[in-house]
Structure 1
């Protein structure tokens, strides 16, 4: 399905990150998108439908493209994910010094159990969770999701990853206009 983007005219101003994304060479834009979501098909589709008039249109297109992925393509994207932890900020690398030993141990054990059962990293979007609640939220979610059958967990994981990808994309365009040269 084609995504049409209305022409806003020359007078409309875009955030610097979105402007740069819209005008970047296709290969560069695709590479940057693959940092947000490991699905090649998803990234190519988003690039193919540029320019986007605003961040909302881009995020809507990102969602639509994600919903159109096959289970194998979602698995491709999930395979690029690393386990999230209490000490891992959104889009960042783990800082194990900031979490206590018991928290690290509990998180590692929960992730190991999840990966043994489902064969991939536990994916959860923590964008709307207060920092003080993240450990409890993640551990409760892992416990709940360990009770899912494979099909149910595949659907939950896909939706969580879609939310993670949406947040990554929005943050990179808003907070790092240089992200797409």
Structure 2
């Protein structure tokens, strides 16, 4: 949608439009309630500020919608389509690399009791695997901070795709 459309649609429709970017109600409402915006950069700045900080409950709620790296998102809604598009850019992969990612995902979930999240856009599978392995050494608090940052990056990229400048 255009920025002009986003600025003028009703609140509920606007909240529904940004929800697939990041399903944290407080975040989406903060963006919508700040309308009208003069340009996309201002929308993105508002979104960035609204994402500071995410609570652990918000992070866990948002992660419930994210598939594992290498897996398809459930459903056919906007969020599932965004996730599929992001992961489609990961390029070709060997069976060995796919197995390493699957094993890494399982190890991560056992360690942190949540799905491994990373901004997939612009990264290769091998880069993602390296980052997963590096993050396994984090403490719970360190990893929560990284997850929050990844959620912000994903949300901003998605928001930029939802609202045309």
Runs ≥4 residues deviating over 4 A: none
- Taking the aligned partners of 2:38 and 2:20, their CA distance within structure 1 comes to 22
Choose from 129, 144, 148 the match for 1:139: 129
Seen in structure 2, the aligned counterparts of structure 1 residues 80 and 57 have a Cα distance that, compared at 3 Å, is: same
- Taking the aligned partners of 1:92 and 1:70, their CA distance within structure 2 comes to 22
Structure 2: segments with no counterpart, 5+ residues:
74-80
- Taking the aligned partners of 1:45 and 1:172, their CA distance within structure 2 comes to 16
- Taking the aligned partners of 1:78 and 1:87, their CA distance within structure 2 comes to 14
- Taking the aligned partners of 2:100 and 2:119, their CA distance within structure 1 comes to 19
Hey, what does 1:156 align to over in structure 2?
A: 146
Give the alignment of 1:36-51 within 5 angstroms.
Answer: 36-51=21-36
Hey, what does 1:76 align to over in structure 2?
A: 61
Alignment partner of 1:120 is 2:111 = no
Please state how far the C-alpha of 1:79 moved relative to its aligned partner: 2.5
Hey, what does 1:105 align to over in structure 2?
A: 99
Alignment partner of 1:165 is 2:155 = yes
Secondary structure (helix, strand or coil) at the match of 2:114 reads coil
TM-score normalised by the chain length of structure 1? 0.75
Hey, what does 1:13 align to over in structure 2?
A: none
Task: Report the number of matched residues.
Answer: 155
Please state how far the C-alpha of 1:128 moved relative to its aligned partner: 4.2
